[in-house]
Amino acid sequence: MTAVNALHASGFCGLSAQEPSSGQVLDIDAIRMRLPHRDPFLFVASAAIHGDDVIHGRAHWPRTHPIIAGHFPNMGIVPGVCQLEAMAQLAGVLIGETNDHNSELVGVLGAVRKALFKAPLWPDQDLQMICRLRRLGDAGYLVNGEGSSTGGLVVTAEFILALRSRDAFVQSSRI
């Protein structure tokens, strides 16, 4: 049984990454209110919240994106680390919503427990993502995510987002 099939069999991912969006839909302005990221490192282009623990979203890297230009020049491919970051950002949008998006807490990538890259993601392809979050007390969230594109499943991952104070980032950026 593949990791993705096991994830679905466990019921932990109740939605397919290819399933059409429904729920509370967020545009890029609403996403920016919930995340500290900005271009060129803001990867989530749209999101739809499905309750307190599931979020569906889309990321897109055009061929002209600076990251693509430097990653395998003349044979662009979206870096796997950017796909993981996009899923972490998507989960962060839900954390921002759950914490009333005016909170002093942000989710930061604390650990990547598993990551499987099933197929390449090419520039100008959308990455349709689904993340399901489980609260780990006051420390953060366990996130199970997957991303698909026109060719099918591209990436699956399990990672931890730790909750940190926004003030800690402001102070450390001044050092």
Q: Which domains does the chain have, with CATH numbers?
A: 3-173 (3.10.129.10)
User: What is the pLDDT averaged over residues 157-175?
Assistant: 77
- Counting residues of the chain whose pLDDT is more than 70, the rounded percentage is 81
Cross-sheet strand order for the sheet of 152-165: 24-26, 44-50, 54-60, 126-135, 140-149, 152-165, 105-117
Residue 141: which pLDDT band, with cuts at 50, 70 and 90?
very high
Residue 106: which pLDDT band, with cuts at 50, 70 and 90?
confident
Residues with catalytic function: 71
Q: Is the predicted pLDDT of residue 84 greater than 60, yes or no? A: yes
pLDDT at 120: 95
CA distance 3 to 81: 19
105-109, 131-135, 171-175, range with the lowest pLDDT:
171-175
For residue 35, give the DSSP letter.
-
pLDDT at 167: 77
HSE-up (13 A, CA, CB side) for residue 131: 33
Backbone angles phi, psi at 97, to 5 degrees: -70, -45
pLDDT at 133: 97
pLDDT digits 0-9 by tens, 22-75: 679 999 999 998 888 888 889 999 999 999 899 999 999 999 999 998 888 788
| Angstrom distances, CA of residue 92 to CA of 119, 139, 160 | 25, 14, 11
- 154 or 171: whose pLDDT is higher? 154
Average pLDDT of the residues of the chain: 84
Give the global pTM: 0.83
Chain centroid, CA 51 distance in Å = 17
- CA torsion, ordered 155, 156, 157, 163, to nearest 10 deg: 80
Residue 172: which pLDDT band, with cuts at 50, 70 and 90?
low
Residue 2: which pLDDT band, with cuts at 50, 70 and 90?
very low
pLDDT at 34: 87
Q: Is the predicted pLDDT of residue 19 greater than 50, yes or no? A: no
